[in-house]
Structure 1
Amino acid sequence: MSLSFDSSEFRRILGHYPTGVCAITACCDGEPVGMVVGSFTSVSLDPPLVAFFPDRTSTSWPKIEQAGRFCVNILSDGQHDVCRALASKGGNKFDRVSHRPSGAGLPIIDGSVAWIDCDLYAVHEAGDHYIVVGQVHSLEAAHDQKPLLFFQGGYGQFSPFAAIAV
């Protein structure tokens, strides 16, 4: 099948859809590991499942997979520096990222909008990415934070409209 578009056009068009920015964290060999993803979604209520989509070339994903559990940290609109640190290649990504352990011992990034602790449930190959499904076992949200968003190649924030009475 011949496509009428190339990968840069595909990326540009899909960039019209804003996404939240999440940091996926885990501990591997006693050290925190993390990566940033812009693809995260709920999957199921019963059992409670979520998913994210790491690139197959990621060097952080194999460490998170090896851990067998992970924490999804929904980054807040003031966490551009955390996003840059965890998206970087090599080195200690957590040098300047303030975090604390969850009940399961996974890194919760301080200042995040919410965190979701998961056990690895399934991994599926999907083109140049994986579909990673996690079963949620604990979660918490900070009600005074706004999420960091990625839209058309840049970062921004979201402010909800006031509730509309119907």
Structure 2
Amino acid sequence: MSDTKFAETAAALSAGLKSAMRRMPGAVALITTRDPANDQPAGLAASAVIPVSMDPPSMLIAINTSASAHAAIERAGRYCVNLLGTTHTDLVGLFSNSALRDHRFASGEWAYQDGIPYLPGACSSIFCEVRTTLVHGTHELFIGEVYDVRGGSGEAGNPLGWLEGDFAQLGRLSG
């Protein structure tokens, strides 16, 4: 296969996968840490969050290596997965826009455990220590062993999801 044909095929596959994944609902989370390089909180919005195992309890996050929080997570070796509720849509914009980075932790909604910021009003906050990493393409996968879980206050509303490029409310089907 020629280089041009390969590039066209790769681009088509990438576009097809992106389109397919827009149809797969996923939870929206804020991944937070404290960067030991400057002793400042860091974070980003993510939907690539997966429970890996219950024994040992562990979570996987996929972070673009160009994201500012990537290096902070790498240096800290710890992170918190804050699973958002429908009342947190405003925070997603703050954590998705690099121009707003300095405003992410400005609200009084944040608390700290072991120096790591977490959102007490989240559906859940899951604290992890990095055990394994793998770089693949544009992202690094961090598998962290869970060392604490904090349940939300119930003020978060229903779990916040992402579907077809927009927010979705995740909930149980009645019946």
Aligned partners of 1:85 and 1:94 also within 8 Å: no
Matched, 1:107 2:117: yes
How far apart, in 2, do the equivalents of 1:6 and 1:83 lie? Answer: 28
Provide the residue aligned with 1:73 in structure 2. 82
Please list the CA deviations of residues 11-39 of structure 1 after superposition, one character each: whole Å capped at 9, or x if unmatched: 11111100101111011132111111111
* Residue 94 (structure 1) aligned with residue 105 (structure 2): yes
Identical-residue share of aligned pairs (%): 23
TM-score normalised over the length of structure 1: 0.88
> What is the CA distance between 1:143 and its match in structure 2?
6.7
Q: Is the 8 A contact 2:122 2:153 kept in 1?
A: no
Amino acid in structure 2 at the alignment position of 1:67: A
Residues 30-85 of structure 1: per-residue CA shift (max 9 Å, x gap): 21111111111111122111101011211211012111111110011111111111
In the alignment, is the contact (CA less than 8 A) between 1:86 and 1:94 conserved in 2? no
With normalisation by structure 2, the TM-score equals 0.84
Would you tell me which structure has more helix in proportion to its own residues?
2
Q: How many residue pairs get matched?
A: 162
Q: Which runs of 5+ in 2 are unaligned?
A: none
Secondary structure at 1:53 match in 2: strand
Q: In structure 1, what is the equivalent of residue 45 of structure 2?
A: 36
CA shift in 2, pair 1:97/1:19, >3 Å: farther
Distance of aligned partners of 1:118 and 1:13 in 2 relative to their CA distance in 1, 3 Å threshold = same
Find the counterpart in structure 2 of residue 64 from structure 1. Answer: 73
Any conservation in 2 of the 1:97–1:109 contact (CA below 8 Å)? no
Q: Does 1:21 align with 2:32?
A: no
Q: Distance in 1 between matches of 2:111 and 2:149?
A: 14
Say which of 127, 131, 146 aligns to 2:158: 146
Q: 2:137: which partner in 1?
A: 127
Which amino acid is 2:24 matched to?
Y
1:48 to 57, 67, 73: 57
Cα-to-partner distance string for 1:94-143 (whole Å, 9 max, x where unaligned): 123620012x2211114211000111111101122111100100002237
Q: Is the 8 A contact 1:117 1:138 kept in 2?
A: yes
* Distance 1:9-1:158 versus aligned 2 partners, 3 A rule: same
Alignment CA distance shift 1:75-1:81 (3 Å): same
